[in-house]
Structure 1
Amino acid sequence: MAWALQAAGHEVVMAASEAPVDPNLFKNIASAGLTAVSLGGKEELAESLAPALAAANSPNRRTAAIDPDDEDSWRTCQAMLTVLFNAHYPPEPAGGDRRPVVDSLVEFARDWRPDLVLWDPLAPTGAVAARACGAAHARLLFGMDNVGLVRSKMREEREDPASGPTEDPWMPWLEPMLERYGLDFTEETLLGQWTLDLTAARMSYPLDLSYVPVRWIPYNGGGSLPKWLHTRPERSRVVFTLGQTRRLFDGPQGGFPLREFFDSLSDLDLEMVATLNSDQLAAVGTLPDNVRAIGYVPLNQILPTSSAVIHHGGGGTSGACVAFQVPQLIVPIPLWDENIVARYIHRRGAGLVVDPAEMDVDGMRKDLVRLITEPSFRTGARDLYQGMLAAPAPKDVVPVLERLVTEHRG
């Protein structure tokens, strides 16, 4: 989206805090050809995020995932979102009155005077900064609109007389932030004046919000194309990736037996490309001749020559598979919307879903063989791709944004 705006002649900067989660954040922004603005706050965020990160990495971790089989799962999501919001924007700043991330963003916005602020749905500071400087503002979703769904459920519950009086759990951290800049609360502070939505139209939640569809364009960073990817493989190529989290699939014993799975493929006429970290490589030892273990390869380099992908259900991987029309075997690790996306891909005939609690080597092997031998999955992947093309590309969304900015700018 930033590239599209720049190509249309607009000035674009990407503002971010120095969060301890991604030490390469600013390097990645620069390598993408974008201008980065640091908001600081590294020490403060490290302190306030520590409890949330510890909870996220614990065996009994809670996530912000929505379970399509549990009508009450939005409450768990709400609780986790509240933890995240409180961690990023504590009501009482640590170490004094100044709030480095929020204050820095507002100060920069007032100096730079943007016409539009696009913000992550977990960073409503973007809306605060936009209102403080008179800019239009909108959310740019990274997946399903869990924040919008939870907010809708919260409002329904608070407006229901039968539920009794309930407090809004997001106001204790949000209202002090707004009052700091002389602003009052509006729902747009949490939901934007409109929302850029990259999810498939058939998969989106039925919410009464203003959405602008945008086509998913895979981006995995730049880099040289390895020589072994210069030509198409002589046999079916399968990619095994655990995504950026590098979490092992959750199995009955707490970890999927990778070595046993790779060995089970040794007699198949395929090439398995597995992205594994150093610990996983050490654990699996010597691999069969038809398994290539690598540390990392950008998906947009390898997917054009692949016949199937096995992955954990992350939105970036799923979206890239759709863009390159590759059937998917998904073992969803629920963090945000993985279960919903996996089921949607399965329903559309573009892949298979394996329950992490029930996965086993024989079942995974059989599912993989189906993906690369049954033509229906390739047909389903093509259909998903055609559906993706129905959404406008980022360059086609730029005129829409220009019109909306004219309508909404303060």
Structure 2
Amino acid sequence: MRILFNVFPASSHVFPVVPLAWALQSAGHEVVMATTEAGLDPKLFTNIASAGLTAVPLGGKEEIAASLAPHLAAANRPDRRTAEIDPDDENAWRTCRDMLIDLLGAHYPPPQAGSDHRPVLDTLVEFARNWRPDLVLWDPLAPTGAVAARACGAAHARLLFGMDNVGLVRTKTLQELADPSSGLTEDPWMPWLGPVLERYGLDFTEETLLGQWTLDLTAARMQYPLDLRYVPVRWIPYNGGSTFPQWLHTRPERPRAVFTLGQTRRLLNGPQGGFPLREFFDSVSDLDLEMVATLNNDQLSTAGTLPDNVRAIGYVPLNQLLPTSSAVIHHGGGGTSGACVAYQVPQLMVPIPMWDEKVIARYISARGAGLIVDPAAIDVDSMRKDLVRLITEPSFQAGARDLYEDMLAAPAPKDVVPTVERLTREHRC
């Protein structure tokens, strides 16, 4: 088979699906990965190629950068909207819906005045019609993968990078549309999606937003109770290729804790709008542990002089760090959380509201594998105490083992290949 992955232009969306792409490729299928040149992630195509996969650039860099500019500026405001489903807010799904519609509309802008060319979308459809994939696997934030699949007669399925917020929002939207008292009379997705479909002579079906089926990398116990067809896939941590540092060749003589905030430090609502790095590192300076902190230059500049037990590094893949670690402090991202589960490491989470961070953090905490820090009220002394608990109390290690056993219950990517092949045969035109 020929299989086209259509992913959102961020390495955080590419890395989770690499093991499945490997499995399909190793089974003899042709695999390519298409995404845009929006300039949001300068290492995106390098990361795809270094994973041994073929990248298909879709262009649209200038047009998409311009249309996304207002959204990127808004992301720095304290009152920013996110696509997170907050468990404590029964109306959060409506905010999520508005955010998704705005984001997708900006990411696939209409043709420029005086031109019939629609960047990205036209390139994707043209490539699909020429390459003729049997299957298109598309990111929930790249639903034009479904459009391309329908335009060329391929089967298509969503490939979830996290919780199915789109599925939940769509289900609730359909319930609202069916309820006369809701006041919602027109489908809010259609102003953006309608012209996209009309451009290729296609009508709307629910599969355009939800796929013919869904490959799901999330833990079964975390999934929303939706009436959709899910195919579970085990999360296999992949963080990119690198050289194994010599200092990691031997196990540490004392407990090792990893501190990482990914690329989201600017979104934390601590003092001065950022995480209090200097205060936190000072608070753990007297502990008998080794703190490995993955800090970029901007983050390091705010940390001041580091204590002797803190080692600052630019970047080391988590799959190299975690096997010798006793605890991880992180921002709540699904990739980091999934890697911690795979290596059975207790987690101290400062969940940044972007997509599903609070849901993941509460699930891990409820399973006894971690503790949560409120990002709006960071107290370094409390964090210090929580870190000590994670390292010294055996219950957290037991909770991490339980999550790992749950992860193993899902089929590995190689074991999903026959199911993908069968479903493709059933749905391909």
TM-score greater than 0.5 by the shorter chain: yes
Q: Work out whether residues 83 and 99 of structure 2, in 8 Å CA contact, stay in contact via their aligned partners in 1.
A: yes
Aligned residue number for residue 357 of structure 2: 338
Counterparts of residues 290-329 of structure 1 (less than 5 Å): 290-329=309-348
Q: Does 1:189 align with 2:208?
A: yes
Q: Does 1:172 align with 2:183?
A: no
Q: Work out whether residues 144 and 337 of structure 1, in 8 Å CA contact, stay in contact via their aligned partners in 2.
A: yes
Rounded Cα–Cα distance in structure 2 between residues aligned with 1:101 and 1:167: 27
Rounded Cα–Cα distance in structure 2 between residues aligned with 1:166 and 1:208: 23
Q: Work out whether residues 218 and 316 of structure 1, in 8 Å CA contact, stay in contact via their aligned partners in 2.
A: yes
Rounded Cα–Cα distance in structure 2 between residues aligned with 1:287 and 1:181: 58
Gaps of 5+ in 1: none
CA-CA distance at 1:285 after TM superposition: 1.9
Give the letter aligned to residue 239 of structure 2: N
CA-CA distance at 1:93 after TM superposition: 4.0
1:263 to 261, 265, 282: 282
Q: Work out whether residues 102 and 125 of structure 1, in 8 Å CA contact, stay in contact via their aligned partners in 2.
A: yes
Give the letter aligned to residue 388 of structure 1: M
TM-score, normalised to structure 1, is 0.98
Give the letter aligned to residue 300 of structure 2: L
- CA 1:180–1:238 in 2, change beyond 3 Å: closer, same or farther? same
- Residue aligned with 2:302, SS: helix
- Residue aligned with 2:120, SS: helix
Q: Work out whether residues 329 and 353 of structure 1, in 8 Å CA contact, stay in contact via their aligned partners in 2.
A: yes
Q: What is the identity percentage for the equivalent residue pairs of Structure 1 and Structure 2?
A: 81
CA-CA distance at 1:66 after TM superposition: 0.6
CA-CA distance at 1:248 after TM superposition: 6.1
CA-CA distance at 1:167 after TM superposition: 1.6
1:211 to 230, 247, 265: 230
Q: Work out whether residues 252 and 357 of structure 1, in 8 Å CA contact, stay in contact via their aligned partners in 2.
A: no
Give the letter aligned to residue 79 of structure 1: D
- CA 1:334–1:165 in 2, change beyond 3 Å: closer, same or farther? closer
- Residue aligned with 1:40, SS: coil
Give the letter aligned to residue 207 of structure 2: E
CA-CA distance at 1:72 after TM superposition: 0.8
Rounded Cα–Cα distance in structure 1 between residues aligned with 2:301 and 2:357: 28
Q: Does 1:2 align with 2:2?
A: no
Q: Does 1:48 align with 2:58?
A: no
1:390 to 409, 413, 427: 409
Give the letter aligned to residue 209 of structure 1: L
TM-score, normalised to structure 2, is 0.93
Aligned residue number for residue 157 of structure 2: 138
2:31 to 3, 9, 12: 12
2:104 to 80, 85, 91: 85
Aligned residue number for residue 351 of structure 1: 370
CA deviations on 1:103-124 (whole Å, 9 max, x unpaired) are 1111111111100000000111
CA deviations on 1:184-221 (whole Å, 9 max, x unpaired) are 00000011000010111111001111000000011111
Q: Work out whether residues 215 and 388 of structure 1, in 8 Å CA contact, stay in contact via their aligned partners in 2.
A: yes
Aligned residue number for residue 292 of structure 2: 273
Q: Does 1:96 align with 2:115?
A: yes
Give the letter aligned to residue 350 of structure 1: A
Rounded Cα–Cα distance in structure 2 between residues aligned with 1:114 and 1:280: 43
- CA 1:157–1:87 in 2, change beyond 3 Å: closer, same or farther? same
Give the letter aligned to residue 282 of structure 1: S
CA-CA distance at 1:71 after TM superposition: 1.0
Aligned residue number for residue 9 of structure 2: none
CA deviations on 1:335-360 (whole Å, 9 max, x unpaired) are 00000000000000000011112221
Aligned residue number for residue 48 of structure 2: 29
Q: Work out whether residues 155 and 424 of structure 2, in 8 Å CA contact, stay in contact via their aligned partners in 1.
A: yes
Rounded Cα–Cα distance in structure 1 between residues aligned with 2:270 and 2:145: 39
CA-CA distance at 1:251 after TM superposition: 1.8
Q: Work out whether residues 85 and 356 of structure 2, in 8 Å CA contact, stay in contact via their aligned partners in 1.
A: yes
Q: Please, which moves more after superposition, 222-231 or 355-364? A: 355-364
Give the letter aligned to residue 383 of structure 2: M
CA-CA distance at 1:20 after TM superposition: 1.6
Rounded Cα–Cα distance in structure 1 between residues aligned with 2:271 and 2:61: 38
Rounded Cα–Cα distance in structure 2 between residues aligned with 1:256 and 1:110: 48
Rounded Cα–Cα distance in structure 1 between residues aligned with 2:236 and 2:230: 18
Aligned residue number for residue 370 of structure 1: 389
CA deviations on 1:49-72 (whole Å, 9 max, x unpaired) are 111111122232110011001111
Q: Work out whether residues 242 and 316 of structure 2, in 8 Å CA contact, stay in contact via their aligned partners in 1.
A: no
- CA 1:372–1:165 in 2, change beyond 3 Å: closer, same or farther? closer
Aligned length: 410
- CA 1:200–1:138 in 2, change beyond 3 Å: closer, same or farther? same
CA deviations on 1:384-409 (whole Å, 9 max, x unpaired) are 00000000011011100000001111
- Residue aligned with 1:273, SS: strand
- Residue aligned with 1:247, SS: helix
Rounded Cα–Cα distance in structure 2 between residues aligned with 1:373 and 1:296: 27
Give the letter aligned to residue 99 of structure 2: M
CA-CA distance at 1:19 after TM superposition: 1.1
Rounded Cα–Cα distance in structure 2 between residues aligned with 1:42 and 1:154: 32
Q: Does 1:151 align with 2:193?
A: no
CA-CA distance at 1:15 after TM superposition: 0.8
Q: Please, which moves more after superposition, 350-359 or 232-241? A: 350-359
- CA 1:367–1:112 in 2, change beyond 3 Å: closer, same or farther? same
Aligned residue number for residue 251 of structure 2: 232
Q: Work out whether residues 91 and 172 of structure 1, in 8 Å CA contact, stay in contact via their aligned partners in 2.
A: no
- CA 1:254–1:57 in 2, change beyond 3 Å: closer, same or farther? closer
Q: Work out whether residues 44 and 94 of structure 1, in 8 Å CA contact, stay in contact via their aligned partners in 2.
A: no
Give the letter aligned to residue 30 of structure 1: A
1:57 to 76, 84, 97: 76
Q: Work out whether residues 263 and 288 of structure 1, in 8 Å CA contact, stay in contact via their aligned partners in 2.
A: yes
- Residue aligned with 1:199, SS: coil
- Residue aligned with 2:56, SS: strand
Q: Work out whether residues 242 and 248 of structure 1, in 8 Å CA contact, stay in contact via their aligned partners in 2.
A: no
CA deviations on 1:280-333 (whole Å, 9 max, x unpaired) are 222222111100011111100000000000001000000000000000000101
- CA 1:16–1:248 in 2, change beyond 3 Å: closer, same or farther? closer
Give the letter aligned to residue 121 of structure 1: P
